[in-house]
Amino acid sequence: MATADQLKSLIRSHFSQETERFYTIALQVAAHEARQGHSALAHDIKTMVDSERKKGGPRILTFPQDLRGLVLTEEPEASRVSLVIPQLLQDRINRIIHEYRKKEKLKSFGLKHRRKILLIGPPGTGKTMTAQVLAKELHLSLHTIQMDRLVTKFMGETSAKLRQIFDLMPQEHGVYLFDEFDAIGGERSLDNDVGEMRRVLNAFLQFIEQDTSDSLIVAATNNPKLLDHALLRRFDDILYYDKPEEDERKQLIANILGTFKQKDFSWKTVIEESEGLSHSEIDQACRDAIKNAILSDQENVSASELLFPIRNRQEARKGFINK
Ligand SMILES: Nc1ncnc2c1ncn2[C@@H]1O[C@H](COP(=O)(O)OP(=O)(O)OP(=O)(O)O)[C@@H](O)[C@H]1O
Ligand SMILES: [Mg+2]
């Protein structure tokens, strides 16, 4: 049998998601068993580890322990067709995807694909979703860095932590989303320590300029006023998001309701009353309507049934604004 230490290490590495360490310990167990003369068991363990490794298995996390809670890694499923945005914005995203796919060709001419992208716009309009779509389309992992949390947790050491993340980019290839970017992007004071934020911003500008990896760097903010001009210059693309116009609201609702949409759905009032809501709020209203239909054993959602959750969202928005 495996030793007590090996068992404890296996369990620990499982809970801390250290996949590579988990494999190593499993192989140590196999070696231990082989020495005891249990060669069939040793062989089985080794085969299991080899086949998981070949599949790619769960991702091997190389982020240092202290960054784990601040860098969230995922393999998103958001598809390009479900992202409802104006055509011009869509074209620019397509261009980023296209250049990435042709990066070797560009490289052979001494050019770099566009890969430093700033997303600006109100909450719930698709900034995070865009980073998810980029990752999905390019078969990359999405690493989200919550800037406001990074700054708060590592006050005084934020630049060093950012450097750690930038140092990982060439090895841990992926889409890096610096979310709530205005936490460092402006002259906003945090604990009145503007000096610290200035230093962090300067460090970030330096890192982004020095970075030559192929990873995509996406920064997202809903507060453009706080962003500094020196910073805007560093990005290859700046994409502006906004609340959905009429035709986008219609497309979004049709996409989400899907087969739940009643055949003779009357759009007019729904389109009018959803004005001012974000994509995310409309998405939630549609899902509420679908849930109501399911719970009352109805097969579809009519326009008037969708108006209830839409009005609720409008009320919630007004309440929030008037506070
Ligand atoms: N343009 C869009 N097209 C389709 N669905 C959208 C769009 N924008 C938002 N959604 C829906 O709302 C959810 C939240 O949106 P997302 O997280 O992308 O907003 P955000 O712009 O990053 O907001 P925040 O500024 O609050 O971070 C998405 O997961 C998606 O379901
Ligand atoms: Mg977001």
Class of domain 246-322: mainly alpha
Do the bridges between strand 116-120 and strand 71-74 make them parallel or antiparallel, or are there none, so unpaired? unpaired
pLDDT of residue 84: 98
| DSSP reduced 3-state for 59 | coil
Residue nearest to atom 12 of ligand 1 (CA): 280
pLDDT of residue 188: 47
65-240 with 246-322: one CATH topology?
A: no
pLDDT at 135 over 60: yes
Tokens coding 318: 């007004």
| DSSP reduced 3-state for 237 | strand
Instruction: Please tell me the least confidently modeled range out of 11-20, 49-58, 220-229.
Output: 49-58
- What residues flank ion ligand 2 with Cβ within 5 A? 127-128
Cβ distance 278 to 123 under 8 Å? yes
The angle at the Cα of 247, spanning 246 to 252, to the nearest 5 degrees, equals 100
- With CA atoms as reference, report the closest residue to 288 among 315, 307, 272: 307
pLDDT of residue 56: 60
Q: Between 174 and 182, whose confidence is greater?
A: 174
Pocket of ligand 1 (CB under 6 A): 82-85, 121, 123-129, 220, 222, 252, 279-280, 283
Residue nearest to atom 15 of ligand 1 (CA): 124
Q: Map out the domains of the chain as residue ranges.
A: 4-55, 65-240, 246-322
Above pLDDT 90, what percent of the chain?
A: 51
Q: How far is the CA of 322 from the centre of ligand 2 (A)?
A: 24
Q: How far is the CA of 84 from the centre of ligand 1 (A)?
A: 10
Integer Cα distance of 141 and 216 in angstroms = 10
- With CA atoms as reference, report the closest residue to 321 among 269, 276, 274, 275: 276
Over residues 200-212, mean pLDDT: 87
Cα dihedral 181, 185, 187, 192 in deg (nearest 10): 50
Q: Between 127 and 26, whose confidence is greater?
A: 127
In the β-sheet with 237-240, what is the strand arrangement from edge to edge? 71-74, 141-146, 174-179, 216-221, 116-120, 237-240
Burial bucket for residue 148 (CB in 10 Å: 0-12, 13-18, 19+): middle
CATH fold for the domain made of 65-240: Rossmann fold (3.40.50)
pLDDT of residue 189: 47
Q: Between 170 and 82, whose confidence is greater?
A: 82
pLDDT of residue 187: 53
The answer for 127, left when phi > 0, alpha when psi is -120 to 50, beta otherwise, is alpha
pLDDT by residue (tens digit) across 264-316?
A: 898 999 999 999 999 999 999 999 999 999 999 999 999 999 999 999 999 98
| DSSP reduced 3-state for 57 | coil
Q: How far is the CA of 299 from the centre of ligand 2 (A)?
A: 33
Instruction: Please tell me the least confidently modeled range out of 36-45, 90-99, 133-142.
Output: 36-45
Q: How far is the CA of 133 from the centre of ligand 1 (A)?
A: 11
Q: Which atom of ligand 1 is nearest to the CA of 78?
A: 29
Q: Which atom of ligand 1 is nearest to the CA of 129?
A: 18
Q: Which atom of ligand 1 is nearest to the CA of 130?
A: 18
Integer Cα distance of 301 and 83 in angstroms = 22
Q: Which atom of ligand 1 is nearest to the CA of 222?
A: 25
